[in-house]
A and B are shown apart, each in its own frame.
Chain A
């Protein structure tokens, strides 16, 4: 299955509205996980947990996905956020331990 997101800027990605996508963290230095993720008014990560993979439906129009990442290597940690659609996968943004908050826009396009 091909990836659904198309980058339109460094932090904006277009995709088909109402279709599910899966984003995953990839570790480079230490382990990185998603502690918080807020998208279209919903919290995607259950309270008190951290995950390395999230699946959600692309909301219509442009919505911001705000995320907080946690790192085993603290501020030295390095990783990346990717869209996963096995066997396909694509890079979305870099993740660094000294910048744990990231905000990207996902623009849901209606068919």
Chain B
């Protein structure tokens, strides 16, 4: 019975070998070269396309794909496609990009986390009240990446995968340009008590009502990279790549060396391999004499079936398993290589939309252009320009405060200097930033006695007032920031000191300190499979 099954397995290549030949770039290139040369031997022998075609050492990938497909094996070990995401990068925007409560940064950075990041920040930049905000940022590429990582779809491997239902690197690269964020204002997680109306003013136990405020979302945002320039021929890019490629691809390269090497050793030790090679090189050469690519492909098809027949029946399963492992290691390698190329610093221009829902203030929409410009190996410049609009100025006007839709306009610049050894990725980054905000309409505060604005106390305010507004005035501030990035941890700790001529509410110069901690789940996800 075993023998019957094995014979049937050997018959299957008649149908799948064509597909493998068609889809394998290595095979196609040699077939074309053979047709052009009509099979004439080339010297030296290592330039001969017939010799090359039947040398598995030159394309373990194509031979492994052929062996793996012998019994329709399609479910490769894609669970091993885990990619190494850039957990140690400090140039990703993880926290809130606004400058209000719970922000530690003046200028929003260009790139976002590859999958998901969480940032907890305490402080304030342009607002008068410190706050604690937790921001979750994600990337649209995270979902398909997870599908790949969980065996649902494979990662496409170049031209060979054109017929497969797989996730293409180009699609992931495109999706990586779109990110989203949600900020939660943890200071709103408060409970307030109120005496019911009609309760006695004093004396004895009184019933109270507990009001839990669960409306914690302080901002939602979406960002799209409009322009991402990577010139692979520029000396600066090549220099960065050379500096990082060894470390970034160390594990995937080692994995590929081991897995593809094991499959190659299997092939190299096949009994009758040398005779198979010599016989089929001649047959391929004869087919090539016609100049017909179909005839050469048929000869290769025959050679591959002969190659499969060399595999001893009792080693067939091991052979296929090693082929599958080799293919999976190719996928991991290509994914990591593309990941590195995508992660190298480039000039990035992004547009971000943020819907702000600050506590006790009207909702606003902020549109911000972000330019992320590497200046040198360890230095980059970030420029921001944007406007903030009141979502519903009419509703504000109904309360007696007249405001225009344009609330403010801002420009900001930040210079980042890595103090570590590996470019802008850290492990320590010193930043200097400047920020200018033109306050066109005043900041408005909603007054609710049951839910007072944390940290704000009004004195002498007439009763019955529900809205107050601050005097307008341009805000100018400067910031010094140090971001500590423990290597390999996925954690970043920014701490900054900011001086401003005023805040949105208080017309007096202030010094403030901000601190945060962010965790990049990218590196954690890489360990899940």
CB < 8 Å neighbour of B51 from A9, A70, A96? A9
Q: A68 touches which one: B44, B55, B253 (CB < 8 A)?
A: B253
Some 29 contacts from A to B, beta carbons below 8 A apart, are: A10-B52, A11-B58, A13-B46, A35-B245, A38-B261, A50-B242, A64-B57, A64-B265, A66-B257, A72-B232, A72-B237, A74-B169, A74-B334, A74-B337, A74-B341, A91-B44, A92-B46, A93-B58, A94-B58, A98-B61, A98-B158, A98-B160, A99-B58, A101-B60, A101-B61, A101-B330, A103-B57, A103-B260, A103-B268
* B245 and A50 within 8 A (CB): yes
In the assembled complex, the CB of B260 is this many whole angstroms from the nearest CB of chain A, namely: 4
A31 touches B52 (CB 8 A): no
- Per the CB 8 Å criterion, the residue count for chain B at the interface is 48
In contact, A31 and B242 (Cβ under 8 angstroms): yes
Partner of A93, one of B46, B238, B338: B46
Measured in the bound complex, the distance between the Cα atoms of B252 and A50 in whole Å is 13
Which B residues are in CB contact (< 8 Å) with A50? Answer: 242, 245-246, 249
- How long is the Cα–Cα vector from A35 to B233 in the complex, in angstroms? 20
Distance in Å: Cβ of B18 to nearest Cβ of chain A: 20
User: B-facing mask of A43-82, CB < 8 A → 1, else 0?
Assistant: 0000111100000000000001011101111110000000
Picked from A10, A36, A99, the residue with its CB within 8 Å of the CB of B61 is A99
CB distance from B156 to the nearest CB of A (A): 10
Question: Which residues from B are CB-within-8-Å of A101?
Answer: 60-61, 256-257, 260-261, 264, 330
CB distance from B410 to the nearest CB of A (A): 38
A7, A92, A104: most-surrounded residue (chain B CB, <10 A): A7
Chain B residues packing against A (C-beta within 8 Å): 25-26, 44-48, 51-52, 55-62, 157-160, 169, 232-233, 237-238, 241-242, 245-247, 249-250, 253-254, 256-257, 260-261, 264-265, 268, 330, 333-334, 337-338, 341
Chain A interfacial positions (CB closer than 8 Å to B)? 7-11, 13, 30-31, 33, 35-36, 38, 47-50, 64, 66-68, 70-75, 91-94, 96, 98-105
Contact across chains for A98 and B253 when beta carbons are under 8 A apart: no
- Whether B257 pairs with A68 at a CB distance below 8 angstroms is yes
Contacts of A93 in B (CB 8 A): 46, 58
User: Which single member of A35, A64, A74, A105 contacts B253 (CB below 8 Å)?
Assistant: A35
How far is it, in angstroms, between the C-alpha of A78 and the C-alpha of B180 when the chains are bound? 37
Q: Which among A35, A92, A94 is the interface contact of B249 at CB below 8 angstroms?
A: A35
CA distance A100 to B60 in the complex (A): 9
**Interfacial chain B residues near A66, Cβ < 8 Å:** 257, 260-261, 264
B264:A103 contact, CB within 8 angstroms: yes
A100 to B52, CA, bound (A): 16
Q: A36-B253, A72-B238 are in contact. Are A10 and B46 (CB under 8 A)?
A: yes
- Quote the shortest CB–CB distance from B236 to chain A (angstroms): 12
Q: How far is the CB of A51 from chain B (nearest CB, A)?
A: 8
CB-CB under 8 A from B254, the residues of chain A are 36, 68
Complex Cα–Cα for A68 and B332 (A): 13
By a CB distance below 8 angstroms, the chain A residues around B55 are 9-11
Which A residues are CB-close (under 8 A) to B247?
48-49
Knowing A48-B247, A70-B337, A100-B256, say if A8 contacts B45 (CB, 8 Å). yes
Q: How far, in whole Å, are A67 and B60 apart by their CA atoms in the complex?
A: 12
Query: Is B25 a contact partner of A96 (Cβ separation < 8 A)?
Result: yes
B199 → chain A closest CB, angstroms: 71
Smallest beta-carbon distance A96→chain B, Å: 7
CA of A92 to CA of B46, assembled, Å? 7
Whether B238 lies near A10 (C-beta < 8 A) is: no
In the complex, are the beta carbons of B159 and A98 less than 8 A apart? yes
Q: How far is the CA of A91 from the CA of B45 in the complex (A)?
A: 11
Do residues B58 and A33 form an inter-chain contact, with CB atoms below 8 A? Answer: no
Q: Contact at A48–B246, with CB atoms within 8 Å? A: yes
